[in-house]
Structure 1
């Protein structure tokens, strides 16, 4: 876990400029999002097939790293509502460690409780059809994870 930071204490591990890549890990789909180089705006990027194999998920993220050239990666960390680490959070931790060791980039695990619920709500309010929502909800969730990091950094300043 030396290469992976957790939560607000890890905000200082992220470079202040350059694109950040956000990752919402799921067994069925992985959502990806990026920031602009000035780290002001988080934009949904892509939804790709997920996996229960952390190495396969890392492969997908490494391809996005190659394409997008981020300076760091933020992986959603789905703790339980009680704040505990369940099986999904454990899988995300393993994926984050795999990404960090293979990419050499700083990786931050960021609490993402309810990010998918928020993404679904935003898409419903935008009147996005059910089939289209399923295709984009994970990438929107990834952008909300990045938005949380950007907001937390802004509040610290």
Structure 2
């Protein structure tokens, strides 16, 4: 069963998909979104769901370090609720505290340039969110 992981930001959504056995996460792409114009990339997410035959979606839930939920957490929850409504698939919120920072650290250690980091950081964060979920299930 394939599972999709999403790192929802204010300008982009990082996308990762598991292998068929649900063991490993691979970053797929970064979808540009525009909250002000109400363009959230739901159509592209639906295309990827169909292409990879995804059966479950994991959405990163950015909680504050004191476990409270701020504006980004509320936005991610609303995004997840809309996906559930549109696609009819199970959508699980997954604590993603520090996933983007961890992805940034990995890319810095690999000496990836700032320009290239910007292009891959969101899908890498989505991979880390999804891999965390997959590891908890196995």
TM-score category (smaller protein): over 0.9
Distance 1:43 1:52, change over 3 A: same
How far off is 1:104 after superposition?
0.8
Q: Could you tell me the TM-score, scaled by structure 1's length?
A: 0.82
- Give the one of 52, 63, 68 matched to 2:35: 52
Distance 1:82 1:60, change over 3 A: farther
Corresponding residue for 1:152? Answer: 136
Query: CA–CA distance in 1 between the matches of 2:76 and 2:132?
Result: 17
Post-superposition Cα deviations, 1:79-103, rounded to whole Å, max 9, x if no partner, equal 1111111110001111101000110
How far off is 1:65 after superposition?
1.5
Q: Are positions 1:39 and 2:22 aligned together?
A: yes
Corresponding residue for 1:109? Answer: 93
Query: When the two structures are aligned, how many residues end up with a matched partner?
Result: 137
Post-superposition Cα deviations, 1:95-143, rounded to whole Å, max 9, x if no partner, equal 1010001101100000000000000011111111110000000000000
Corresponding residue for 1:26? Answer: 9
For the aligned residue pairs, the C-alpha RMSD in angstroms reads 1.4
**Aligned ranges for residues 40-119 of structure 1 at < 5 Å?**
40-52=23-35, 56-119=40-103
